[in-house]
């Protein structure tokens, strides 16, 4: 089965208007562990962890002490408000698009690990690269280990479309490598079990001076457009994304590899 991984957004909202029954995040117990750690931190420690302004630190400090993951009531796909999610436009999904997203889209999260679109979440601030010390290590990459990758395998994923940023895809992609050291695995399975999933990372950019240049803002928009396009067209195999043409982007065979698909648009688009 094909799955799409995307990043979360920093800006979040709360809504009680949603079309389907909510589901529990698969790693809800671990989100509760992180929530407890954050609640025990003082405001200055949290501000340093979050690396944000006083206003945002105060807002998110209040959120930690107001909301609990086991009482969340907002579906994940509708909770994030960044550029990527604006272009996914889940609020106007048809039933068919919504069904596709539930089956195929997974959101990577420093706080929840991995989320399905209808998983119930609270507003939070915890980037994957945050240096939060836990009993599993000094940061969230060590906290989550290979568990996000193994969850994708457990769901029967065979093809992965990576539309996540480097910060978040780093929580999954290293485990695809044949060089992934066995001692890093949280499972007793041999390292061969970490090499069963084929992944394509999508690059969106413009050609300048013979090189593909990718801007962060435009990449977020393009990733959102691709998720929406895949849901509209019910894409089931990775090779089909070569047909993506939204926003003037076109697949570039000569610039692409088996594991990295490059989509380029002209500067006039």
- The predicted structure's pLDDT at residue 229: 98
What is the spatial distance between Cα 101 and Cα 187, in angstroms, rounded to a whole number? 29
- The predicted structure's pLDDT at residue 209: 77
- The predicted structure's pLDDT at residue 182: 41
Query: Residue 11, SS3?
Result: coil
What is the spatial distance between Cα 27 and Cα 5, in angstroms, rounded to a whole number? 16
- The predicted structure's pLDDT at residue 187: 45
- The predicted structure's pLDDT at residue 215: 86
Considering only CA atoms, which of 119, 54, 42 is closest in space to residue 80?
119
- Given a cut of 70, the residues of the chain with pLDDT beneath it are 178-196, 267-269
Contact 167, 15 (CB under 8 A): no
- The predicted structure's pLDDT at residue 267: 62
Q: Which helix (H) or strand (E) holds 262?
A: strand 260-264
Share of the chain above pLDDT 70, in %: 92
Query: Residue 161, SS3?
Result: strand
């Amino acid at each position: 089965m094909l799955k799409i991984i995307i990043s979360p957004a920093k800006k979040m909202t709360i809504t009680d208007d949603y079309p389907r029954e909510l589901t529990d995040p698969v790693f809800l117990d671990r989100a509760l562990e992180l929530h407890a750690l954050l609640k025990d931190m003082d405001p200055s420690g949290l501000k340093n962890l979050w690396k944000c302004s006083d206003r945002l630190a105060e807002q998110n400090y209040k959120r930690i002490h107001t909301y609990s993951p086991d009482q969340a009531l907002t579906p994940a796909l509708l909770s994030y408000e960044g550029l990527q999610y604006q272009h996914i436009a889940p609020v106007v999904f048809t039933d068919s698009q919504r069904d596709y997203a539930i089956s195929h889209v997974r959101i990577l999260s420093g706080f929840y690990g991995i989320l399905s679109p209808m998983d119930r979440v609270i507003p939070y601030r915890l980037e994957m690269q945050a240096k939060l010390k836990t009993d599993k290590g000094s940061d969230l990459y060590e906290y989550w280990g290979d568990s996000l990758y193994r969850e994708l395998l457990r769901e029967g994923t065979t093809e992965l479309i990576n539309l996540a940023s480097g910060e978040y895809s780093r929580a999954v992609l290293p485990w695809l490598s044949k060089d992934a050291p066995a001692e890093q695995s949280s499972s007793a399975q041999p390292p061969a079990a970490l090499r069963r999933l084929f992944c394509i990372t999508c690059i969106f950019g413009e050609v300048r001076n013979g090189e593909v240049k990718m801007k962060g803002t435009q990449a977020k928009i393009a990733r959102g457009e691709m998720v929406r396009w895949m849901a509209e067209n019910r894409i089931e195999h990775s090779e089909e994304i070569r047909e993506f043409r939204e926003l003037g982007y076109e697949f570039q065979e000569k610039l692409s590899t088996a594991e990295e698909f490059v989509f380029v648009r002209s500067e006039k688009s």
